[in-house]
Structures are given as structure tokens and as C-alpha cells.
Amino acid sequence: MAMTTRALVLGGGGPVGIAWESGLIAGFAQAGVDLGAADFTLGTSAGAFVGARLAMGADARLLADPILTEAERRPPSPATDADRKPADLAELMRLMGEAQSGMGNPAEARARIGAFALAADTLGEEDFLNTFGRSFAGLAPDAWPERGFACTAVDAQDGAFQLWTQASGVGISRAVASSCSVPGVYPPVTLLGRRYIDGGMRSSTNADMAAGYDVVVVVAVRLGAAGGAALERIAARFEEEVQLLQDGGGTVVTIIPDEASVEAFGPNLMDFRRRADAARAGLEQGRVQAAVLKEIWG
């Protein structure tokens, strides 16, 4: 009898999304559902960071611990977090709306986002890469997980979509950083002589890249956290991706933030001050929903 193949898709959602996904996965694991045991993990932006930690062997039950420990050590306060106030994403949202509207050539629209990212005044590339340092410290520059892992990015120069895999010949730290490079907030990341930005510029989940697996669990942060026209675009795109997975014979389970989680997020997923609350809300949601997932995931 053939083994059931399982894929985990982790969508984008900024620092708040990283915290919530970490909590959610830890909550599931503590209740007996180990999403880290997926045959293939696909990450976009925040999901690339969380997925890479899982694929590199982090204990799923403890995934939220670093975020909660940091919060206990240094509770957020207006004085200490003044330098971390959430970025203004208005121009990026406008450009993303164009790219995901279905009007015109999507790659050309993404190239306009790339031009915006390349021109933006952000911290330097090496400084940005160092922010990933603790999680991927001590790894060889070309290190990649043994278990199936991929993350998404977009070429800043021509808007082409890029799926980083073990076969790409790049290291996980830079690949994940490129996937997390929110245009206008962080610098595009150099890989193989090109500059790359956030994979969420194509789709917040890119779930269609997990086609061919029997069971696909998709964690879609932004389906619960956006509003208005942006949410409609994300939802429409997501429905297409799910349909493609189902047409290929896959069983798809979608997990979105529950009401308490959305409240914990606040209005801006780039707000570092919300991370501890988001992680706690994810933990609780994972523990509560684990029973539903247990039968499907095994």
C-alpha cells in the first residue's frame, strides 16, 4: 500500500505571522499533530522562515519558545520599541494590488514592485541577513535541509517568480531572507548575481507549488488578517491554488487565524510589538484545533 504523502504550506504575514505560525505549529505538536513531519514544506515570506526552522530540525513543540522568551526578557515599551514602529506599507499595497489584479502582465507588475524595492532607503543587505543570524547561525553558506523544503521569491529586476529548492545551489539563510524581503522595508537579497524580493509578491501562499501531494495543509495568515479589496484578491487567488491542488487529487486543509488570533495581530502584520500576543494566540488555536487535523494528518 502506497504511503500518503503530506505537504505543509506556510503563507506570508510579516513578523506577526512568523510568531503566530510558530505558536500554531507548536500548539498542534503539543496536542499530538506534528506538522514538522511533512514530506515537503513550502514557505513564502514569514512562512519561509518558520518552514526553514522546521525543515532544519527544530522541535515543533518548542517553535514559539524563542519569541515568548524574548518577550519575557524585554517586554515591549514605547521607549524601547520606538525604532521598531511598523512600516507604512501604503505604496507597496497599491503596487501589489496592480500585480494581483489579473489585469496586464503579472511579471511586469511585479517588476514595478522590484523597482520600488531597489530604490527604497532600507538597512543594508548584510545587516538584514544578520537579523536571521540566530536561527541559522553556524550553517555553511550553501546549507540546505535534508528533508523536502522550498521557499519562494521574486526577481526584483524582471518580476520572474523563483522557487528556491535544494537543486538551486543556494544557501538556506539567503534564500529565506530573499523570501522575507518586504519591498520598501527590507533590501532585495543577492543570489546567483540577481536581486530578489518577497515571494508574497506573486501570492501570499503560492500553494500551487505543492501540487502532487496527497494531503496539503495550508496555513494562510493573510486570509484572516487583511480586509476589503486586498482580502478579496488574496482569497480569489487562493481559491485558484486550492482548486489546482484538488484537481491533482490532493486533499486540502486550510488553516486561517481564528477570531482571537486576528485580535492579537492588530492592524499591521509588520508590528514587532504584537509578536508575543500572536504567538500565544497561535498556541491556543493549535491546541484547540489539533483534534480536527489529527485524523487527516495522522
Q: What is the pLDDT of residues 167-206, one digit of tens each?
A: 999 999 999 999 999 999 999 999 999 999 999 999 999 9
Map residue 149 onto helix, strand or coil: strand
Assessment of whether the complete model's pTM goes beyond 0.85: yes
Examine the residue annotation and report whether 181 is marked as an active-site residue of this protein.
no
Q: Quick one: 151 exposed, middle or buried, by C-beta within 10 A (0-12, 13-18, 19+)?
A: buried
Q: Is 198 a catalytic residue?
A: yes
42: enclosing H helix or E strand: strand 40-43
pLDDT at residue 210, rounded to an integer: 97
- Judged against a pLDDT cut of 60, whether residue 18 lies above it is answered with yes
Q: 173, 179, 181, 198: which one is catalytic?
A: 198
Please name each of the domains of the chain with its CATH number. Answer: 6-75+120-295 (3.40.1090.10)
In this predicted model, what pLDDT tens digit does every residue of 74-113 receive, in sequence order?
A: 655 443 433 445 556 677 777 777 777 767 788 999 999 9
Q: Counting Cβ atoms within 10 Å, is residue 149 exposed (0-12), middle (13-18) or buried (19+)? A: buried
Which residue from 196, 205, 215 is spatially nearest to 158, judged by alpha carbons? 196
